[in-house]
Amino acid sequence: MKMSESRQFQRRSFVARKLEGSEFLNINDGAVMVKALANASDNQVQQSGLIDLSVAQRFGFRGLNAAQHMQACDYPVPSKPNLCDVGRNGELVLRLGETEYWVLSNPQELEQTPNYQAPVLDKCYSLFCQNSHSWLMMVGPSLAETMAKICGVDLSSSQFPVGHVCQTSVARINAVIVHHEINNKSVFSILSDSASAVYLWEALLDAMTEFNGCAMGLSAIT
């Protein structure tokens, strides 16, 4: 179901009020922008864009038996920290430490709920990154160049290839950056403290100005 105002939904992200005037899609009772802002030109949409996926489902596990629990849930286990793998239904599986894993919904199938199962093993605990972290996605051909303005880490494809995760500072905000692909094109998913979501959203859009960047919706990746 589509609505014109995000406040009509039960759940919306901290960024939603910045996107009023757009068309939203109901994803599990949450507001996700589906079409670009009315004032975004076609040229901008074809260049660089920023998508708010913060209401999409995600969760995590931590502990000595977290990997065993992930396997029991039929999720792949990346071979070492700071790597990302893709589940059989397109979920993103991140390994953030020796014993910490996050699972993010398939960005192109947000209505499909990832398989969450509460831990039954000792030394395995749930992480509620759905509430603690926002999820923004950068698309377009100038990902590394844009991030170079607000991040001290070299995120060029030669140094930060697809399937890798970087835990660093973006615009002075601690963030997890995931390099993955959608429709065979590189994208960056950025997860950071929910309380700083609006600040980071504005910082990223400002960094994109040189590359004709703008806010975008799900239609850009589906």
* CATH number, span 2-55+132-220: 3.30.1360.120
% of the chain residues with pLDDT over 70: 90
Average model confidence (pLDDT) across the chain: 89
The tens digit of pLDDT for each residue in 126-162 reads 999 988 999 999 999 999 999 999 999 999 999 999 9
How buried is residue 76: exposed, middle or buried, by Cβ count under 10 Å (0-12/13-18/19+)? middle
* CATH number, span 58-129: 3.30.70
Q: What angle do CA 194, 199, 200 make, to 5 degrees?
A: 75
In 36-172, DSSP assigns E strands to 49-52, 58-62, 83-86, 92-97, 100-104, 125-127, 133-139, 165-170
> What is the average per-residue pLDDT within 50-61?
94
Q: What per-residue confidence (pLDDT) applies to 44?
A: 44
Q: Where are the domains of the chain?
A: 2-55+132-220, 58-129
Lowest mean pLDDT among 8-12, 16-20, 148-152: 8-12
